[in-house]
Amino acid sequence: MTLLRSVLIANRGEIASRIIRTCRRMDIATVAIFSEADENAPFVAEADSAVALHGNTPSETYLSSSAIIEAALRMHCDAVHPGYGFLSENANFARECLQAGLIFVGPSPQAIELMGSKITAKEIMAAAGVPVLPGLTVESVSDLSDEDVDRARQVVGYPLLVKAAYGGGGRGMRVVRAETELSEALEGASHEALSAFGNGTVFLEHYVDSPRHIEVQICGDTHGEVIHLFERECSIQRRYQKIIEESPSVAVTPELRSMLGDAAISAARAIDYVGAGTVEFVMGADGRFFFLEVNTRLQVEHPVTELVTGLDLVELQMLVASGGHLPEQVHTVSLHGHAIEARLYAEDVEEGFLPTSGTVDRFLVPALPGIRVDSGIAEGSEVGVHYDSMLAKVIAYGATREDARRTLARALAETRLHGVISNRELLVAILRDEDFRSGTIDTGFLARKDPIALMAGQRTPGVRALHTLCASLASQAERREQARVLTTLPSGWRNVPNGPQQVTYRVDGEAVTVSYRVKGRSVAAEIDGAPFPMVELYSQAPTRVDLAVDGVRQSIEVHRVGETLYVDGATEGTVLREVRRFGESESSVAPGSLLAPMPGTVIRIAARQGQWVQAGAAVMVLEAMKMEHTIIAPHDGTVEELCVEVGEAVGTGRVLVILKEDT
């Protein structure tokens, strides 16, 4: 057994921080690597030492195997832990580490290689007796023939799923329900796969309607031992990416759990698997399950397994990598309680989950009993456009699923995440939804529910009006504190009656005007001309307003960042932007301009200058945070001007195309 003294972590963000925590407990020195954009990231300071990589793009930094191995050798590391994403499932990287005399904390290059191709993986699993779905490979999308289309119909059948053959994480995936949709889906999936994984090969697989996504945690050692650590339910997804995961699954009976575990172990033994990994299955309503893939790495959602088993999966990885046996407790472990994880992403749900960027001005998760936070950010962190948009994971443990669900919903509702738009409100809405509570879920949950409607249904009537009034009162108190004369007078005091104070905010894209007059402890107010209920003011400060509305007392927090105000009650928050009293200057953007909704890179232009396009047609495709985002024509019209070129980096609000509307 090799004594691991130091490990280089070939990753970033929350998984780097997570690995560092276990290594410190095991007395293993840690070396971080970081890009220029990450120089102030928390994980860099948490590591024992860190090596700078020049550049920001993944190819320059976290995907540069030569730079990473050079850093590991320079720092005299014994091992390299790849985390997840980036090079974690790259067989060549694992091989290069071994050739350099470094221990790769993960399975063998051969196992990674075999599972790196979903096509080969399915063939191996079928031979091992693991249930698989019918499929078909498409290596060249441009050469798609009528015969290929016929085979898709006959061999696979509709509906079908187009999937990247050499990657995962929801990238390069499209559902096709009719033959007429096949060509466009293949082209889009292939291009996205090429961009994300360097290989555009895709394959077709029969699509199970309303499936559950069930996965089994496995772990093997170099002595031939392979065990499973039960299942996780990962059915709550958006754009084929998981956002809420839990263990155990409410749909899995003890008998089914045994069958899933046996299938997962058979899959692991078929490739001589060593280390921690996950075997993923799709499961129909009838309980029949089929192999999807093997993730040859630690999963993002591994904390839920840790909480219900009491094991540390990173510790198991380190023990196995050093040549040790799996410890005795993994053979006798049992499930205890329930755990649910929610992924906090920097994204705008109401804009189709567009990635967002900015500075994290506040990040605080309440320390409720049973709550665990795996975070890659802190106050002051910069969220850029180069990497995945996940910010943190909040995980709750309870004796029952309902205990964990309630705790997680409350913790997220009280979480303060200011400075970047996030999916926090959606996560809370999902956790409080009746179907989620009952466990009636599948991968189409958010397609059926409509995320915007789901969030709207959870909002308390009148809370926006209350929060705009509180923002006004807090701003008034702030101005009073900054006054240089008559500083002892209370906020809102007047010796001669006059007109009400008035301020306008932008809230959810709409203008809201607040008029108010403070007289002693009473506040008379109107919101957009409509009278507001009677208000009794207990205290008024720039950061907190304590008031009673119709006799119901509440304490509301207010956090100002420039002209943006974050207003938070006990369980709900509102973001407001103060409108300048004398107005903004006229926009100089030409009529018909289509703007970049987020920072990104132009990867495809789908229309020519002078071309007439129909409303809804794709005009351009941007790539941001490793995902593609299509710019569509909002109306029929003629492309008057193409303002950018393929490969050009653009910022939010950049004019991409000018589309002259038909009159």
Per residue in 75-103, pLDDT (tens digit) is 999 999 999 999 999 999 999 999 999 99
pLDDT at 2: 85
- Which contacts qualify for 437-440: CB closer than 8 Å, 24 or more apart? 437/402, 437/405, 439/250, 439/251, 439/401
Is the confidence at residue 169, as pLDDT, over 80? no
| Window from 168-172, 189-193, 381-385, 639-643 with minimum mean pLDDT | 168-172
**Class level of CATH domain 6-105:** alpha beta
Is the confidence at residue 462, as pLDDT, over 60? yes
Residues 160-184, mean pLDDT to the nearest whole number: 83
For 263, the 3-state DSSP assignment is: helix
Domain covering 593-661 assigned CATH 2.40.50.100 in the classification: yes
Name the pLDDT band for 491 (thresholds 50, 70, 90): low
Architecture of domain 134-206: 2-Layer Sandwich (3.30)
Beta bridge partners of 137: 203
User: For the structural domain made of 209-336, what CATH number should be given?
Assistant: 3.30.470.20
Is the confidence at residue 628, as pLDDT, over 80? no
User: For the structural domain made of 463-578, what CATH number should be given?
Assistant: 3.30.700.30
pLDDT at 586: 47
Q: What is the rounded CA–CA span in Å between residue 438 and residue 139?
A: 42
Q: What is the rounded CA–CA span in Å between residue 279 and residue 370?
A: 27
pLDDT, mean over the chain: 92
Whole-structure pTM value: 0.86
pLDDT in tens, 246-297: 999 999 999 999 999 999 999 999 999 999 999 999 999 889 999 999 999 9
Is the confidence at residue 559, as pLDDT, over 90? yes
Pairing type for strands 212-220 and 226-238 reads antiparallel
Residues 321-346, mean pLDDT to the nearest whole number: 97
User: For the structural domain made of 337-458, what CATH number should be given?
Assistant: 3.30.470.20
Burial class (CB in 10 A: 0-12, 13-18, 19+), 56: middle
pLDDT at 531: 96
Residues 504-515, mean pLDDT to the nearest whole number: 92
pLDDT at 488: 57
The two domains 209-336 and 337-458 share their CATH topology (first three levels equal): yes
Domain positions in the chain: 6-105, 134-206, 209-336, 337-458, 463-578, 593-661
